[in-house]
Amino acid sequence: MDSMLQAVLQASIISKCVLVLLLFMSVASWAYMAAKWLTLRAARRRTRQGLCAFDDAGALAFALPLLESDKRSPLYGITCRAVREFNRITRTGDAERLLNDNVRRALHFGIAEEMAHLKSSLALLATAANTAPFIGLFGTVWGIMHSFHAIASLKSVSLATVAPGIAEALIATAVGLFVAIPAVCGYNIFRARLTNIEGVCINYAGQLLNRMQHEVNAYQDGISFAGEK
C-alpha cells in the first residue's frame, strides 16, 4: 500500500489528473447507484401494491380512490392520462367506439412517460462504465511514455528507471477497471429492474382498459380522479 501511494505521489501531473478524474467518477457512480437503487425499489413496491389493490378492489368506483392515495406511484401518472382521455371522449358522446384505441394510446404514452422518468440519468452510469477503461488506458499509455522518456534521458534500462512509470501505468489501469466494473453491474441490474416495473405497468394498463370497457356505460358523465384536469 505504501509503495502504491508513493507511486501515485511520484506520478506526472497528467497521470495524477487521470486518477483524480477516475476517483470522481467512482464516487459519483456509487452515489448515483445508491440513489437509483432506492428509487427503483420504491417504484417497484408501489407498482406491485397498486396492482394488487386494483385487482382486489373490483369496480372502478372502489379501485380509483386507492390509486389516488399514492401520488408517487408510477400507476398514478398512468391513470391520470387514461382518465383524462376517457373523460374527453365521453364528452364527445362516442365513448364506446373511441374507448379502445384512444385510451390504449393514452396508456401507452403514460407508461412511456413514467419509464422515462425512472430511466432519467441512467445514461450517466453507462457513460462512466464505457469511458472509465479508456481513461485508465490513457493513463497507462502516458505512464509507459513517461518510462521511455526516463530511459532516453538517463540512458539506462535498469528496473529502477522504468519501474515508477510502469507502476503508475498499472495503477491507472486498475483504477479505470475499478470504476467501470461496478458501473456495468449496476447498469445491468437497473435495466432488469426497469423491465420488471414496466411489465407491471403494462399489466395494470391492460386491466384498467378492460375495466373501463366493461363499465363505460356507468360513467357517461366522466370519471372523477384527483390527477385528471
Q: Domain locations in the chain?
A: 13-57+72-218
pLDDT digits (tens, 9 = 90+) for 187-229: 999 999 999 999 999 999 999 999 888 887 777 777 877 766 5
3-state secondary structure of 10: coil
Q: What is the pTM of this model?
A: 0.83
- Rounded Cα distance between 17 and 20, Å, is 5
Task: Let me know: does 202 contact 111? Beta carbons within 8 Å.
Answer: yes
Residue with cell 391513470: 79
Question: Crossing angle for the helix pair 95-118 and 74-92, nearest 10 degrees?
Answer: 160
What is the sign of the dihedral through the CA atoms of 198, 200, 205 and 206? positive
pLDDT in tens, 112-125: 999 999 998 898 89
Place of cell 384512444: 102
CB under 8 Å to 52, separation ≥6 — which residues? none
Q: Can you give the length of the chain in residues?
A: 229
Q: List the pLDDT tens digit at each of the 229 positions of the chain.
A: 555 555 555 566 777 788 889 999 999 999 999 999 999 999 999 999 999 999 888 788 888 888 888 889 999 999 999 999 888 888 877 777 778 888 999 999 999 999 999 998 898 899 999 999 999 888 888 777 777 776 666 665 666 666 666 777 778 888 899 999 999 999 999 999 999 999 999 999 999 999 888 887 777 777 877 766 5
